[in-house]
A and B are shown apart, each in its own frame.
Chain A
Amino acid sequence: MARTTVLHQWHGSAGARMTGFAGWDMPVSYGRGAIEEHRLVRRSAGLFDTSHMAQYTVSGDRALEYLERLVTARLAGLAEWSSTYALLCRDDGGVLDDLFLYRLPDSWLVVANAANRERDASWFREHLPSSGVEFADVSDETSMFAFQGPKTLSVMDRLTDAAASRIGRFAAAELPLAGASVLVGRTGYTGEDGVELFLPNETALAVWELLLAEAERAGVEAGPIGLAARDSLRFEPGFPLYGHELSTEISPVEARLTWACDLEKEFIGRDALARQRERGVERRLATVRMKERSVPREGFAVQSDGKPVGHVASGMYCPTVDASCANVFVPAALAKVGTDVDIEIRGRPRAAVVVKRPLYTPAYRR
């Protein structure tokens, strides 16, 4: 039996097409279709139910040193009410998950992928010191939304006495919404400005409806967004998706995520990553653009001069780029911009070229 979020019934009444995802029954798209949803987020505002994602809280006197040893990003300099992206690595540098960590005054909120919820929780528990750290999986009682797009902050401001836009990029604040206190992070995974909201299940539906209603009152075009557009929206700005660009068999060096790893600090997997970085890796992530519209999909073979050289990690039609593109793992020598490769689609090699990453510059870098 698939798990459902608090909004399951709402999605159904809104005409969502549902799909199984990491054991959850989630909306893949609504009536307007995935491509139009993608465009809506790029030009205005879209609301995502991301309540399937896992949330843990970590607290106690030794929480900082405990987390510092487990994740790849440096946490020590992180101010309260701010956040960072980080990876959770094994000793060999293989990636168990990618995470967002929010530093709150008395605790840390760790956001993880739904598919990895149990494995991450076990890993965190196994590494707990005998005292000084409390770890809790709060996923069941927590709902999570992303409200993304260039016009979302103006809607949030109307509801929060302009407090929302005072939250800096990657910062967070506790704000009252629909009578509840909601943790609002100026974060997201679409390449647009926007917020992510963490709230108790009991208030989730009221806040969801409030956001859409307030957008309408403000004359801001907005709507719900499903998983299909979530995927293309994260793909264009070059954000990895666990199970595709990241896995226990892929290292952050191969996936070009060393920027998320502070090799100057001690953490599990650090030595393996430092060695890889020093010696170089055989294969690397590259983004290719198809010369025709045929869609390269996960698992398809990459060829060079007729020989297999790699595989597609993620591939799709990218609405903003208006081309079919793919992330591929290929030998480092072929990962250079301008290199011609072929993707085998239905038995035939189709021309593609390695292009500059990212395909779309995320708002925080503009």
Chain B
Amino acid sequence: MTFDEKVRYQDTHEWARKDGDLVVVGISDYAQDSLGDVVYVELPDVGATKKKGDPFGVVESVKAASDVYMPISGEIVEINSALEDEPSTVNDAPFASGWLIRVRPSDSSELDALMSASEYEEYTKGLDD
């Protein structure tokens, strides 16, 4: 299990990484592993504005459909359209080519409220039985 240290985590298992003025968002390695094989990713329209905590898409695995939530408020400026043909990239590279959306944040300080890699790792340990 990888806990990428360059990103910050939300308790619903999304990660956010600052990328210039923008923030890249994806789901964690822990999340993709729990979901199993991803077969479809539904992403929002570019230009939509969403608040932290709003659902912005759905990741469908063999097992189930799971909502994904904004780790930060802002405007969606890009979606990872490569996932349309290769949704399994979310499993193979959750922190890299398996990213979901790029956001222009309305309040970058929201990033600070997210968990660090070590905090998130601790958090996930509490979730396993």
Contacts and interface: CB of A to CB of B under 8 A. Distances in A.
Contacts of B60: 293-295, 317
A33 B58 CA distance: 20
A287 interface: no
Interface string B29-57: 00000001101101000000000000000
Nearest to A33: B37
A113 to B, nearest CB: 21
B91 interface: yes
A72 interface: no
B36 A346 contact: no
Contacts of A35: 37, 39, 62, 88
Contact of B40 (A17, A33, A36, A294): A294
A324 B91 CA distance: 18
Interface string A316-359: 11000000100000000000000000000010000000000000
Interface string A8-34: 000000000100000000001100011
A17 B36 contact: yes
A293 B87 contact: yes
Main secondary structure of the interface of A (DSSP, over half): mixed
Interface centre among B63, B65, B88, B91 (most CB of A within 10 A): B63
A346 B62 contact: no
Interface string A275-309: 00000000000000000111101000000000000
B37 A295 contact: no
A228 interface: yes
Interface residues of A, number: 18
Nearest to A28: B63
Contact of B36 (A29, A297, A316): A29
A346 B65 contact: yes
B62 A34 contact: yes
A346 B58 contact: yes
Given A33-B36, A293-B87, A228 B62 contact: yes
Interface of B: 36-37, 39-40, 42, 58, 60, 62-63, 65, 84, 87-88, 91
21 contacts: A33-B36, A33-B62, A34-B37, A35-B62, A36-B37, A228-B36, A228-B62, A292-B40, A293-B40, A293-B60, A294-B42, A294-B60, A295-B40, A295-B60, A297-B65, A316-B62, A317-B39, A317-B40, A317-B62, A324-B40, A346-B58
- Across the A-B interface, give the 7 residue pairs with the lowest CB-CB distance, nearest first: A317-B39, A293-B40, A35-B37, A34-B62, A33-B37, A295-B60, A228-B62
